[in-house]
Structure 1
Amino acid sequence: MASKASKARRPTISDVARHAGVSTSLVSLVLQGSPLVREPKRAAVDAAIKELGYRPSRAAATLAGGASKTIGLIIDDYRNLWFVELLHGLQAELEQHGYHVTVVDSPGDETPGNGPIDQLLSLRVDGIVVAMDPRDSMLPATWAPTVVAGWRDRIPDGADLVANDDNAGGRLAAGHLLDLGHTRIAHLTGSGGAAAHRRAGFLLRCAEAGLPVRLWGEGHGTSEEDGYQAARALMEHFPDTTAIFAANDIMAVGALAALRERGLQAPRDVSVLGYDNSPLAMSRYLDLSSIDAKSGDVGIGAARALLARMEESSRPLLRTLIQPELAPRGTTAAVSP
């Protein structure tokens, strides 16, 4: 019968060890299925696990040593669904090699000793994929083999890079709007490496066509609210704008809300183009035109780079760019005469 203490909280590996009269290392060996454990000890641990209702965690199972077969993925915002396809690609490739992925977000309010790297190291991860602009605490990539997914402001020392070619994507976005005949074009941008590369490609392509760009949001965030506020201010200053390119899909959703607030519709009044081709863009309700960042392919590439780095830590650093594609839908159209 379980004790009152074990009922009051979730039992730990230490509780199992005390209940079975063995060490925590021996419990870990049992959880790993080690043949080194004698049958009487194994039976005592199994009985303790059953009696206490203990649910072993993968981290606890690896305390005695050996690879955890866990890869950590760090993102900065669960609300922005761009990372969904990245995660699918990452998992699909890693699962073939017996690894699973643990996702940790880093919203920016981390405390010393409790950042995403600390959380992942406590799980004894075998490798880390950074899918956000790294903070200072993430820059010395000495904790574990590391791959950065996506263009970033900074790349940790010793980390490989697998990214969508955001410069090419920005050019592709500009070309799409230019081909539709738009000449009063705006771009909602923001902070971060990906936004900077998308902005650079977009501005360059428009400059080649001899068109100025109405740029808004540089140095600010890239959330839905940021997109809404930027589009709202933009339309106040330039109400004759006929096309908006947003730095990502969630900003584009904010822009659509700002347009609706003014009684405008996409694409009848203003064409709106996002970036990432996220599940938001693909939803039938929004039907949002977007630049496909090939996030699934980035995930697969990041997984392969990480596996190679874990196998040979001294290999040359990898820098891989994956080409984006246009995903035209219902929010962009030829400019009205």
Structure 2
Amino acid sequence: MADVAAKAGVSRALVSIIFRGRPGASQETRERVLRVADEIGYHPDSAARLLARGRSRTLGVMFTVHQTFHSDLIAGIYPEAERLGYDVLLSAATHGRGEAKAVEALLSHRCEAVILLGSGAEAAYFDELARRAVTVSVSRRTPQAHVDFVHSAEGKGVRQAMDYLVELGHRRIVHIDGGRGPGSAERRRAYRAAMRRHGLEAEVRVIPGEHTEESGIDTGRLLLAERDRGLPLPTAVLAGNDRCAWGLLMTLTRAGVDVPGDLSVVGYDDSHLSHLMPIGLTTVRQDAVLMAEHAVRFAVERLEHEGAEPREAVLDPKLVVRGTSGPPPGGSA
């Protein structure tokens, strides 16, 4: 600032006023100072200025690299954070870099709050983290943990999908479990409950899996092997999430299975790739933008209102019907 002041012929204090956007300088002087700053390549260090005041105004976001739905959430986090005057710092969890390490990186960069996307952590970790920074968990709810939660009504979404499949005439409906993935337990319970409600308890089948393409591929191979032994294919599969559904679709279609003529497939998430495939995926839509906005607002409100208690937002999902679902072979019941 001293260099800018000397070259522009003004005081250092006036340069500071201009860069802080405060009144006290004429328009002509303001333009001259900004022009000089541009010429010599000076830019105010907003991070240093905030740290001097004891604030970073930065939200840290922990996400998983290969989860496409996390990309949709991040796309919604940035504009809402910027609207509220906060920066965003990302840190990824990968196969060789666990969640805890990703979160520690965010805290070491002085993030004031941490937003966890699809965390697999237990309540004890959430509570420990909450003592160090404002914490928001998106997609995963852990009762009793002292953090904010944002998630969809998993049971309602599964009920919509199951009611739709049963109305089409499906009876042999299989569910690929999401393992320990966020929302998996709720989706599994809702599937079982829906099958019982429709009088299909004898047809209940949950295949162990994960929220990955590999899980769908493995399930596809299992179903094809059973078909080769003379067992009938299910008429519909409710996958744990979209990635699992894609893996299943890839395996079945390569083997000549007609989707949805022979078998219908339904996913969960409605991530941005769901409608870009050669055949659009029928799936349960979670509103990523709305979830992201709630997460950012929860974090900011607790940062700016000391003593505010954590909150929970439960958002309604919606079934989106595309090309991978239809009546079972032989038509509707």
1:175 aligned to 159, 163, 168, which one?
A: 163
Deviations 1:79-128 (A, max 9, x none): 2211233223222222111112222121253479x711211012211211
Aligned to 1:83: 70
Q: Are 1:271 and 1:333, in contact at CA under 8 Å, matched by a contact in 2?
A: yes
RMSD of equivalent CA atoms: 3.1
Aligned to 1:118: 104
1:161 aligned residue (149, 152, 170)? 149
Aligned length: 291
Partner of 2:300: 307
Q: Tell me which residue corresponds to 1:46.
A: none
8 Å CA contact retained: 1:182, 1:335: yes
Residue 61 of structure 1 deviates from its aligned partner by 6.3
Instruction: Give structure 2 stretches of 5+ with no counterpart.
Output: 1-15, 22-38
TM-aligned CA deviation for residue 228 of structure 1: 0.8
Distance change >3 Å, CA 118–CA 56, structure 1 → 2: farther
- Whether the aligned pair in 2 keeps the contact of 1:75 and 1:131 (CA below 8 Å) is yes
Aligned amino acid, residue 163 of structure 1? H
The corresponding residue for 2:326 is 333
Matches within 5 A, 1:227-242: 227-237=216-226, 238-242=231-235
Q: Report the secondary structure of 2:61's partner residue.
A: strand
Preserved CA contact (<8 Å) 2:50 2:57: no
Q: Which residue of 2 aligns with 1:204?
A: 193
Could you report, residue by residue, the CA deviation over 1:152-203 in whole angstroms, capped at 9, with x for unpaired residues? 4x36832111111111111112112111111111111122231111111122
Larger displacement relative to structure 2 (256-265 or 175-184): 256-265
Q: Does 1:285 align with 2:274?
A: no
Q: Which runs of 4+ in 1 moved over 6 A?
A: 53-58
Of 314, 319, 325, 2:312 maps to 319
2:212 equivalent in structure 1: 223
CA distance in 1, matches of 2:294, 2:132: 21
Residues 290-328 of structure 1, C-alpha deviation per residue, up to 9 Å, x if partnerless? 100112111111111112211224223312210000110
1:28-80 deviation line (CA, Å, top 9, x unaligned): xx9xx689xxxxxxxxxxxxxx99x999987666554532221111112x222
The alpha-carbon distance between structure 1 residues 156 and 139, as it changes in their structure 2 partners (threshold 3 A), is: farther
Which of 241, 250, 264 is residue 257 of structure 1 equivalent to?
250
Partners of 1:68 and 1:87 in 2: how far apart? 20
How far apart, CA to CA, are the structure 2 residues paired with 1:201 and 1:115?
Answer: 34
Q: 1:62 to 1:333 in 2, by over 3 A?
A: same
Describe the shift of the 1:234–1:69 C-alpha distance in structure 2 as closer, same or farther (beyond 3 A): same
Task: State the secondary structure of the residue aligned to 1:272.
Answer: strand
d(CA) in 2 for partners of 1:135 and 1:109? 16
CA 1:245–1:65 in structure 2 vs 1: closer, same or farther (change >3 Å)?
Answer: same
Matched residues in 2 for 1:313 and 1:160: separation? 15
Report sequence identity in percent.
29
Give TM-score, length-normalised by structure 1. 0.77
Work out the CA distance in 1 between the residues paired with 2:116 and 2:223.
Answer: 33
Q: Structure 1 residues 111 and 162 mapped into 2: Cα distance closer, same or farther (>3 Å)?
A: closer
